[in-house]
Amino acid sequence: MTATPVRKVAANTTVRHFLARVAFALIMTIVGLLFALPLVWLVLAPFDATPSLSLSWPDWTLDNFARLAENPYALRSIGNSLLLGVGTMVIVVVLGALAAYAMSRIRIPGRDGILYALLLLSSIVTGTAAMVPTFQIITQLGLINSYVGVLLVLAGGILPTVIFILKDFMDSIPKSYEESARLYGAGPFRILRDVVAPIARPGLAFISIWTIVQVWGNFLVPFILLRSPDMQPAAVLMYTFYTESGQADLRLISTFALLFSAPVLIIYFVVNRRYGFRFHGGIKS
């Protein structure tokens, strides 16, 4: 065998390899662009004097923001969403951490069964199936049109998942850490605060963001439990942006959508920076 055919084969493979890479990059670019289009619309449409559902170079204006500011409920609804999100987060993180710690450390007969049952049922609580009973219970409790009712239902729906995830985090913390702290005189709450919570911090950070995102996007629960328009969160308010003729008011909707998506992104970056999704390792034994 001479050297020439070998080189030819090698050159052929290189060319084919190069073409394959180019084709792959092209296809991925097209797919990526398809996914990027709605996001581009989200950023451009609010600045367009006459936005439509198609994507076009905007006729730049800030009028839409001015119009949105005139709407008495728009900005307040973002505040309402924040209130509901943070409120649910506090309830869920505090109760979830306590319950997960107990579930992780105390032997209860049928513990795993309880957890799985809760997890399954939780998807029903905040889902469409339980809409009527949920409404009736909250009415009977006299909590209709109050944030307490909404917070309870939202937290109740999210808690089982949170307990499930946090229990896993706490299971991975060696018992010797707590026993060590106990020997120095620390009580259960002290141990939870000084030892368990700091080590489970990545889990707690994840749970916090996840809860806010869940509540932020939840439409059904506040929609059926809140009556007054000034109490509605953003996700429900968007539903009311119609023109007099009953057409969807794209100028308001697009502008509001941009404002609606901003806080979640900001919260994500702040929490990620401050608390970080870092993991502390134990000792291999």
Partner 1 sequence: MAGINATQLVKEYPGGVRGVDEVDVQIHDGEFFALLGPSGCGKTTLLRSIAGLEAITAGSLVIGDRDVTNAEPGARGVAMVFQDYALFPHMDVGDNIAYPLRIKHVGRDERRATAEKVADGLSLQGLIERRPGQLSGGQQQRVALARAVATRPDVLLLDEPLSNLDARLRLEARTFLKELQRDLGVTTVFVTHDQAEALALADRIAVMKAGKLQQIGTPREVFQRPNNTFVAGFIGSNPMNLVETTVTGGGISIGETSVPVPAGTEGLVRDGQTVIWGIRPEYLRWVSSEEPGAIPAEVSVVENLGASVLIAVNASGHKFQVVVPEDHEPAPGDRGWLVPQAAKTLLFDAESTQRIG
- Interaction site with partner 1 (CB under 8 A): 174, 176-177, 179-186, 190, 194-195, 198-199, 201, 280-283, 285
CA atoms within 13 A on the CB side of 142: 0
Question: How many residues in the chain?
Answer: 285
Residue 116 beta carbon to partner 1: minimum distance, rounded to whole angstroms? 25
Q: Which is nearer to partner 1, 188 or 263 (CB)?
A: 188
- Closer of 8 and 280 to partner 1 (Cβ): 280
Shortest Å, Cβ 282 to partner 1:
6
Q: How far is the CB of 94 from partner 1 (least distance, A)?
A: 20
- The CA-based angle 273-276-278, given to 5 degrees, is 150
- The distance of closest approach from Cβ of residue 109 to partner 1 in the complex, given in angstroms and rounded to an integer, is 12
Between CA 63 and CA 51 the distance in angstroms is 12
Q: Based on CB atoms, which residue is closest to partner 1, 90 or 194? A: 194
Element (H, E) at 87: helix 74-105
A 10 A CB-CB count for 180 gives: 13
In this structure, are residues 179 and 255 in contact, taking their beta carbons and an 8 Å threshold? no
Closer residue to partner 1, CB minimum distance, 17 or 280: 280
Instruction: Extract the tokens encoding 244.
Output: 């007099």
